[in-house]
A = this chain, B = another copy of it.
């Protein structure tokens, strides 16, 4: 046992603060729109500190994107592997609390040509969204097998539809400056998936 006798939590190390600041800025402004200086200012770290811990902007972005992707995946898996019927779990995922007007921190990166042009930065984006579609398809296949869903629903195709409604719902909400279109799109999908008796 190490002699730990702190009463208050220690301040986050500079490297962690830099990654957190980068995560926020990538979400808000994208990769192209985020400068090292802005990261340093938000993290309360100087240039020397940043370039000591990371080789540059791409290196920092990779750390940030990786952490964000892991979080998103853990959250989704928790809901999709939780209790309830297949349709209930998909609905729970669709209805999960979200910062709708900020959009999806992973899906957003898809619109950044500099991210998509770099295989290293792109990989976690591709893998996360790919994993999500597969996981949803598994749950939907379960629902079809036990009769919750009609045989006409193709699990893979419907999984793509579900993820697309979320990603597209963010776009509509941002365009409208209002979360309502996101909720409408989700409700519309749920109605189609599980029509009221």
Contact = CB atoms under 8 A, between A and B. Distances in A.
A99 to B, nearest CB: 15
A114 B30 CA distance: 11
B160 A169 contact: yes
Interface in A160-189: 160-161, 163-169, 171-172, 174-177, 181-182, 184-189
A13 interface: no
A33 B176 CA distance: 23
Interface residues of A, number: 56
Given A160-B185, A164-B171, A171-B107, A113 B154 contact: no
Copies per complex of this chain: 2
B172 A160 contact: yes
B171 A29 contact: no
Contact of A172 (B30, B114, B116, B164): B164
